[in-house]
Amino acid sequence: MLFNRKYIIILILFLAGSTSLRAQLSFCANYTDAGDPMGVSNTWKLSLKGGYVYMLYSNKKKTIRPKTLSIVVFRESIKDYLPYDKAVMEVQDKKNWAVFDYHFVEAGNYKVLIQDNNHELARSFVSISLQGAKKEGEITIDDKYYSNSVLSFCTAVDNNMPKGASKAFTTGKLYIHLLNDKPLGVDSMILMVHKKTVGSTTYDQYYDLVKAGIGPSYNMTYLEYNFTEEGEYQVEIYTQKFIKMGEGFVQIVDLGQNPTTTDNKKAPDNTIDPDIGYYNATMSFCEQVTDGKLIKESNSFKSGTFYVVVRNDKAIATDSIYMDVQKKAFNADKYNIYVTSKTYGVDKTSPGTYFDLDIEETGQYKVEVFNRRMQKIAEGYVSVR
């Protein structure tokens, strides 16, 4: 069958024009007031902590009817792209384009879809690398990384190995030694000490918390610790992201020193009755607190700063609180992505307290607040969009 050359040319031009009118997703550094992307690239090198890249959706000459569009992000795994994150892209009235400033925090190859009610409008791919990030083949630390570690108490360390190890010592200084079957992989650790109260069968009294630097390439570390009070102690070591590195137990026998004055060590906070509990405490979230009143209370906020409010039916009975924030992974049931942790001073006679929290990434978050003994006061859940 023969075709007229003129019609072939017209058909080619028609198809080319149709392609140019298709919706398009761009990754860019900036954009104009008319919605044209600037600095477009599908390969980005960001800082070690990640960075923001604009996702600009263009519907060409057609106005976008929905008020919002869905962004669905997939991250490349060994065999395929797996679900990673979701976000909402807001659309301005009578605009034929929309933009979202997305925060990439992990290196990898990504597939991004723009959808309207699960109907795909556009897709594109982007590759993210982080400056100074670990390379493929370097260690990945998870909950099982330190499963073979050994924590020891000893009187000396010789050639990096414990000497005079025991489960019982007299009051005074000794060494806490941690040995792993592979490099420790972190440059700092948190040592948490709990003590048994008289008549208790559990280590129910928070006693001390120490932070120390360590060598990530070594498979061992140790530090000197001064036990000034007799008793039975539990010592736990964690990474900064609260992955447990090791645990040990030791008994200390008193030699007559005054535990409240030796080395000017601050006595533990014994004003909290462990039987009282905080079962009536509640946690709320709001945009502002004015004269004790919560302004625009909600469980959903735009990225940025909002307030966390903890209220109890009795005095909070601690002079400091510890706040821990975890994020839920995409399509997961658990909040297992560490976000941040902070300690705040509070008035122990007050029945509550509040503090600001800044979250820039969209997602679902769990906020937990503990007293000085690491007893949970309250927890709450909040969505950031």
Residue type, 78: I
Round the CA-based radius of gyration of the chain to a whole number and report it.
28
Phi, psi of 341 (to 5 degrees): -150, 145
What pLDDT shows up at residue 135? 54
Structure confidence by residue, pLDDT tens digits, 133-150: 655 456 788 888 999 999
Q: What percent of the chain has pLDDT over 90?
A: 31
Structure confidence by residue, pLDDT tens digits, 38-61: 889 999 988 887 889 999 999 988
CB atoms within 10 A of CB 171: 19
79 — pLDDT class (breaks 50, 70, 90): low
Structure confidence by residue, pLDDT tens digits, 21-38: 468 999 998 888 889 998
Q: What domains lie within the chain, and their CATH numbers?
A: 23-130 (2.60.40.1930), 150-264 (2.60.40.1930), 282-384 (2.60.40.1930)
Structure confidence by residue, pLDDT tens digits, 274-305: 444 455 889 999 999 888 788 889 999 988 89
pTM of the model: 0.38
What pLDDT shows up at residue 263? 34
